[in-house]
Amino acid sequence: MLKACDSAWATEEYGRAELGDGRRTARLVSMAARLVEKPSGKVSEAFPNTAERQGAYGFLENEQIPSESLVDAAGCATARRAASLPFVFVPVDGTSATLTDTNGDKAFGAIGTYGAGARGIKVLSAIAVEPDGTPLGLCALRSWMRSAERPNRPSRLMRRVDEKETQHWLDVIDATRARFQDEAPTTRLWFQIDREADAWPILQTVVNAAPDWFTIRSSWNRRVRRVLKMGTLREVIAQHPVIGGSVVDVPGGANRCARRAHLSIRTAHVVLDMRDRRTKRHWPLEVNVVWAHEVGTTPQGEEPLDWLLLTNHPVEDLTDAQCVLDGYSTRWRIEDVHKTWKSGACKVEDSQLRSASAVSKWASLLFSVAIRIERLKHLARTDPDRPASTELSRYEIHALVLLKGKQRKRTEPTPTATPTIGQAVRWIADLGGYTGKSSGGPPGSITIRRGLDRVTAAAEALEALDEQRTDAAHKCD
């Protein structure tokens, strides 16, 4: 796919992977390059060549290659790309992939409710997003299997942190910080976390993670320490005046209409009364609060946006509050990646691998590819005048121009040899069956992937032809 002909992206992403043997790293780079060209949830579809397919299976099934080594290589590569930036947003979110396990012999864990009987893997990931909202790469990823049967254990409130899935959140945050400290020590991280992670161990960790910032959407109406008596968080923030308004572009999603939402904003500085119910310990935690509530733009049948955000970013005025809201809105980038990874271009849920280890490695590879696809899609929408050569190889551009010229409508101008990224992505999507705005919006990951399949095949042929001509010229000399 992106710069696939010369494996530039794959080399940048995985060329420094420490796998104990240089041949393993070379295999990983070649696998990543092929996946970028032809993403697929099935190994057999991504690697139609017999030798490549056998090599991929051998790599994935090798128990001496941990999936964390792949993630570490990709996370460090992301940090290096971010080294020149003053800060990056880091959305963190969890999802799951349902996998085929008809006979229950693949040792996959439960997904959803235990009664439903679905099997698969749980995943928690962190990605880096540039200040302008462009996806940059994978920071950290944890995958695990829940027990296939309902476990008989103490209630969640009575378990230690390391006995709960909360620990995965702490591990992902710590791994991200460590990689950036090594590769981009001057780039500040701004973690963006949804309500699922509104838990005291996570709040305590990120509040003390200076100089990095965090924003966590509150899920609980926590108690707030006041001079004379305790109050609840929503009760306290409601007593503060509205300091202004804001507008947020809401993308469409499951049970969510795309719209431009108008928000009223309140802010406050509070001291939360934190409590560990297992040990009965209480302690104070100072945070800033930004409360944004949608007014007048909520579609019928939907709940208004209601973001009660806890942050350690300074909130002195409306400008600071707007920065917090802008940062939290980048969380939608990771939702887009999850969609592309699961059911979009990468289709990880189509995987038929049989071991947890192989699935974890395959899933992490596809996750990096999904971010790359989302980056291309985002740039086409937000920076369409950028030269396509920044993201596509010269052979891909040549192939794209030839294919588009052959397919173009009579009313369309002849494609140029130096398209912008916006033009290139639109042409790729056209080749993949995109029918224009009538199809429901700008090109998505699936039509982009379909078009790239055609472009990649043509680009490889052009590159092979060029090499053949070069060899012939050398023989004549």
pLDDT at res. 88: 98
Q: Which pLDDT tens digit goes with each residue over 90-121?
A: 999 999 999 887 776 777 888 887 777 788 89
> Is 451 in the same domain as 312?
no
**Planar angle of CA 84, 90, 95, nearest 5 degrees:** 145
Rounded to 5 degrees, φ, ψ at 64 are -85, -5
**What pLDDT was estimated at residue 437?**
59
Shared domain check, 200 and 96: yes
Burial 282-314 (b: 16+ CB within 10 A, else e): eeebebbbbbbbbeeebeeeeeebebbbbbbbe
Q: Looking at the structure, tell me whether residues 97 and 245 fall in a common domain.
A: yes
Q: Which band of pLDDT confidence, cut at 50, 70 and 90, is reported for residue 3?
A: very low
pLDDT at 365: 96
Q: Which domain holds residue 396?
A: 383-476
pLDDT of residue 2: 38
211 located within any domain: yes
User: Which of 375, 402, 433 is the C-terminal boundary of a domain?
Assistant: 375
Angle at 290 between CA 288 and CA 295, to 5 degrees: 170
**Contacting residues for 314 by C-beta, under 8 A, at least 6 apart:** 288, 320
Interval 418-440: pLDDT, tens: 889 888 888 888 888 888 755 55
Residues 147 and 241 in one domain: yes
268 and 345 both lie in a single domain: yes
Lowest mean pLDDT: which of 4-8, 26-30, 61-65, 289-293? 4-8
- Output the pLDDT for position 434: 85
Domain co-membership, 160 together with 192: yes
CATH code where residue 144 lies: 3.90.350.10
What does the H/E/C string look like for the chain? CCCCCCCHHHHHHHCCCCCCCHHHHHHHHHHHHHHHHCCCCCHHHHCCCHHHHHHHHHHHHCCCCCHHHHHHHHHHHHHHHCCCCCEEEEEEEEEEEECCCCCCCCCCEEECCHHHCEEEEEEEEEEEECCCCCEEEEEEEEEECCCCCCCCCCCHHHCCHHHCCHHHHHHHHHHHHHHHHHHCCCCEEEEEECHHHCCHHHHHHHHCCCCCEEEEECCCCCEECCCCCCEEHHHHHHCCCCCEEEEEEECCECCECCEEEEEEEEEEEEEEEEEECCCCEEEEEEEEEEEEEECCCCCCCCCCCEEEEEECCCCCCHHHHHHHHHHHHCHHHHHHHHHHHHCCCCCHHHCCCCCHHHHHHHHHHHHHHHHHHHHHHHHHHHCCCCEHHHCCCHHHHHHHHHHHHHHCCCCCCCCCCCCEHHHHHHHHHHHCCCCCHHHCCCCCHHHHHHHHHHHHHHHHHHHHHHHHHHHHHHHHC
What's 415's domain CATH number?
A: 1.10.740.10
192: Cα within 13 Å, side-chain hemisphere:
25
Q: What's the pLDDT band for 1 if we cut at 50, 70, 90?
A: very low
Does residue 177 fall inside a structural domain? yes
Say if 42 falls within a structural domain. no
Same domain (yes/no): 292, 406:
no
Count of the separate structural domains present in the chain: 2
How long, in residues, is the chain?
477
- Verify that 428 and 361 share a domain, yes or no: no
**What pLDDT, on a 0 to 100 scale, did the predictor assign at position 65?**
96
Is 124 a domain residue? yes
Question: Do residues 323 and 277 both lie within one domain?
Answer: yes
- What is the pTM assigned to this prediction? 0.87
Query: Where does a domain end: 345, 375, 405?
Result: 375
How many CA atoms lie less than 13 Å away from 280 in the CB half-sphere? 0
Strand 231-232 relative to strand 223-224: parallel, antiparallel, unpaired?
Answer: antiparallel
Last residue of a domain, one of 375, 403, 437: 375
Q: How far apart are the first and last CA of the chain?
A: 35
Under 8 Å CB-to-CB from 368, ≥6 apart: which residues? 13, 32, 74, 137, 138
Greater pLDDT, 7 or 335: 335
As a whole number, the mean pLDDT across the chain is 88
* Other residues' Cβ atoms within 10 Å of the Cβ of residue 196: 17
**Alpha carbon distances (Å) from 276 to 57, 203, 270, 282, 283:** 46, 12, 19, 7, 9
pLDDT of residue 238: 94
The tens digit of pLDDT for each residue in 142-169 reads 999 888 777 777 677 778 888 888 999 9
- Amino acid 110 reads A
Q: What is the pLDDT of residue 366?
A: 96
CA dihedral 273, 279, 280, 284 (to 10 degrees): -20
Interatomic CA distance for residues 344 and 367, integer angstroms:
12
What is the C-alpha separation between 297 and 140, in angstroms, rounded?
A: 36
